[in-house]
Amino acid sequence: MNRVLTTPVSEKDARALKAGDVIYVSGTMFTARDEAHKMMLERGSPLPVEGLALFHCGPVAQEAGTGWEILAAGPTTSARMELFEAEFLRKFRTRIIVGKGGMGEKTLAALGEVGAVYTHFTGGAGALAAKAVKRVAAVHWLEELGMPEAIWVMEVERFGPLVVAMDSHGQSLYKDLSVTVGKNMEAIRARIKGGN
Amino acid sequence: MNLTQELGRAIGNAATILPPDVVRSLEAARDREEGPARVQLEAILENVHIARGGRVPICQDTGTITFFVKAGTKFRHLDALVRALPEAARTATKDVPLRPNTVHPFTGKNPGDNTGRSIPAITWEMVEGDGAEVHILPKGGGSENCCALKMLPPGVGLKGVKEAVVEHVVSCGGLPCPPTVIGVGIGGGADLSLKLGKKALLRPLGERHPEPEVAALEAELEELINASGVGPMGLGGKTTVLAVHAEYAHRHPASLPLGIVVQCWAHRRATVRIRADGKLEVA
Residue contact B47–A124, C-beta within 8 A: yes
Residue B272 has pLDDT above 90, yes or no: yes
- pLDDT per residue as tens digits for the range B4-39: 999 999 999 999 999 999 999 999 999 999 999 999
Residue B202 lies in a domain: yes
Query: Is residue A71 within 8 Å of residue A130, measured between CB atoms?
Result: yes
Nearest CA in chain B to A196: B159
pLDDT band at B282; cut points 50, 70, 90: confident
Scanning chain A, the segments in alpha helix (DSSP H) are: 11-15, 34-43, 82-92, 105-114, 126-132, 142-149, 173-194
- Mean pLDDT to the nearest integer, B60-81: 96
Residue B133 has pLDDT above 80, yes or no: yes
Report domain extents, chain A. Answer: 2-194
- Rounded Cα distance between B179 and A122, Å, is 11
* Domain count within chain B: 2
Nearest CA in chain B to A160: B43
Whether residues B247 and B215 share a domain: the answer is yes
Whether residues B226 and B180 share a domain: the answer is yes
- A123 → closest Cβ in B163, B177, B236: B177
Whether residues B236 and B278 share a domain: the answer is no
Residue contact B56–A72, C-beta within 8 A: yes
Closest approach of B14 to chain A, Cα-based (Å)? 15
- pLDDT per residue as tens digits for the range A40-58: 999 999 999 999 999 999 8
pLDDT at B10: 97
Nearest CA in chain B to A183: B228
- pLDDT per residue as tens digits for the range B74-109: 999 999 999 999 999 999 999 988 988 898 999 988
Average pLDDT, chain B: 96
Q: Which residues of A touch B (CB under 8 A)?
A: 20, 22, 58-60, 71-74, 77, 100-102, 120-128, 130-131, 160-161, 163, 165, 173-174, 176-178, 180-181, 184-185, 187-189, 191-193, 195-196
**In this prediction, does ipTM exceed 0.90?**
yes
Contacts of A184 in chain B (CB under 8 A): 227-229
pLDDT at B109: 87
Whether residues B87 and B107 share a domain: the answer is yes
- By C-alpha distance, which of B123, B98, B112 is closest to B268? B98
b/e code A129-159 from CB counts within 10 Å (16+ = b) = bbbbbeebeebbbeeebeebbbbbbbbbeeb
Whether residues B91 and B145 share a domain: the answer is no
User: Which DSSP symbol is given to B113?
Assistant: S
Active site residue A37: yes
Contacts of A189 in chain B (CB under 8 A): 163
What CATH number was assigned to the domain covering residues A2-194? Answer: 3.20.130.10
b/e code B218-229 from CB counts within 10 Å (16+ = b) = bebbbebbbbbb
Residue contact B56–A127, C-beta within 8 A: yes
- Please report, as a single letter, which amino acid is at residue A53: A
Q: Please pick, among A37, A56, A120, A140, the residue that the annotation labels catalytic.
A: A37
- By C-alpha distance, which of B87, B86, B75 is closest to B125? B75
Residue B1 has pLDDT above 60, yes or no: no
Residue B50 lies in a domain: no
Domain hosting residue B130, numbered range: 3-13+58-140+268-282
Whether residues B220 and B257 share a domain: the answer is yes
Whether residues B96 and B210 share a domain: the answer is no
pLDDT at A128: 95
Whether residues B240 and B213 share a domain: the answer is yes
Residue contact A187–B227, C-beta within 8 A: yes
pLDDT at A45: 97
Whether residues B8 and B132 share a domain: the answer is yes
Of all residues in chain B, the percent with pLDDT exceeding 90 is: 91
β-sheet bridge partners, residue A163: A22, A120
Nearest CA in chain B to A129: B47
Whether residues B202 and B98 share a domain: the answer is no
Residue B32 lies in a domain: no
Residue B45 lies in a domain: no
CATH assignment of the domain containing B110? 3.30.360
Per-residue confidence in pLDDT tens, chain A, 196 aa: 469 999 999 999 999 999 999 999 999 999 999 999 999 999 999 999 999 999 999 888 888 888 999 988 889 889 999 999 999 999 999 999 999 999 999 999 999 999 999 999 999 999 999 999 999 999 999 999 888 889 999 999 999 999 999 999 999 999 999 999 999 999 999 999 998 6
- pLDDT per residue as tens digits for the range B217-256: 999 999 999 999 999 999 999 999 999 999 999 999 999 9
Contacts of A58 in chain B (CB under 8 A): 60
Contacts of A104 in chain B (CB under 8 A): none
pLDDT at B241: 98
Whether residues B100 and B237 share a domain: the answer is no
pLDDT at A71: 84
Residue B103 lies in a domain: yes
pLDDT at A148: 83
Preferred mutation among A122, A158, A162, A178 to probe B, highest tally of B CBs within 10 A: A122
Q: How many CB pairs under 8 A join A and B?
A: 129
Contacts of A120 in chain B (CB under 8 A): 36, 233, 235
Whether residues B133 and B164 share a domain: the answer is no
